[in-house]
Copies of this chain bind each other. A is one copy, B any other.
């Protein structure tokens, strides 16, 4: 076989998709804070300056990675039940998708504008709430509340260090002076009990119950 006359060896052509995918993979591995433009550029085999051809700055790149994290979320279908069952399923899938990518949800709370995949989920949340007969203004605010819930819960449920954090919290609670913190002390076993999914389902139920109570 003839020697291949490539100039760039194994190097894949640079593209926005490749850069964003590499970014998300690094977030999975190292967490958002440790993902630098330089590390991303290494992962796609260039220098840091080359990334700026595709992306205006680090924040925009992280926002793209956030949107990619949520790209695979499937919207519930008719066979998934009534509007409420479908809403709970959609929210749960969104939390799971984000939690699977370490602390990528922090990007959303940092004030990035939502990308197309996030918007697709927001659109469906709003549509389901309306199907449920919630008033328009309440839909708008409820979608906001649900968005907050998704981001917070994704952070709480993320795979890396969830149980480790719970254990540190538990130790803290038990070490607290009984005099100043009697209730925390009394409820300490409950405060860190249950896995993320169970707590999440409970919280989401509370949230929707509250919505319906006010309607």
A149 to B210, CA, bound (A): 14
A73 to chain B, nearest CB (A): 16
A194 to chain B, nearest CB (A): 7
Question: Do A152 and B148 have beta carbons less than 8 Å apart?
Answer: yes
- Stretch with Cβ within 8 A of B (4 or more), from A22-30, A64-72, A136-144: A136-144
Question: Do B111 and A161 have beta carbons less than 8 Å apart?
Answer: yes
Question: Do B153 and A148 have beta carbons less than 8 Å apart?
Answer: yes
Q: Is A169 part of the binding interface, using a Cβ–Cβ cutoff of 8 Å? A: yes
Q: Is A38 part of the binding interface, using a Cβ–Cβ cutoff of 8 Å? A: no
Classify the interface of chain A: helix, strand, loop or mixed.
helix
A169 to chain B, nearest CB (A): 7
A144 to B161, CA, bound (A): 17
Q: Is A56 part of the binding interface, using a Cβ–Cβ cutoff of 8 Å? A: no
Central interface residue in A109, A149, A212, by most chain B CB within 10 Å: A109
- Stretch with Cβ within 8 A of B (4 or more), from A10-18, A76-84, A86-94, A180-188: A180-188
Q: How many residues on chain A are close to B (CB under 8 Å)?
A: 59
A209 to B191, CA, bound (A): 21
Q: Is A5 part of the binding interface, using a Cβ–Cβ cutoff of 8 Å? A: no
A210 to B84, CA, bound (A): 14
Residues in chain B near residue A183, CB distance under 8 A: 123, 126-127, 130
A-B contact pairs, 20 of them (CB 8 A): A103-B110, A106-B109, A111-B165, A113-B168, A114-B172, A123-B182, A126-B184, A127-B182, A143-B191, A144-B156, A144-B203, A145-B206, A148-B148, A148-B152, A151-B152, A152-B152, A205-B210, A207-B210, A209-B210, A209-B214
On A, residues with C-beta under 8 Å from B are 103, 106, 109-111, 113-114, 119-120, 122-123, 126-127, 130, 136-137, 139-145, 148-149, 151-153, 155-156, 161, 165, 168-169, 172, 176, 180-184, 187, 190-191, 193-194, 199, 202-203, 205-214
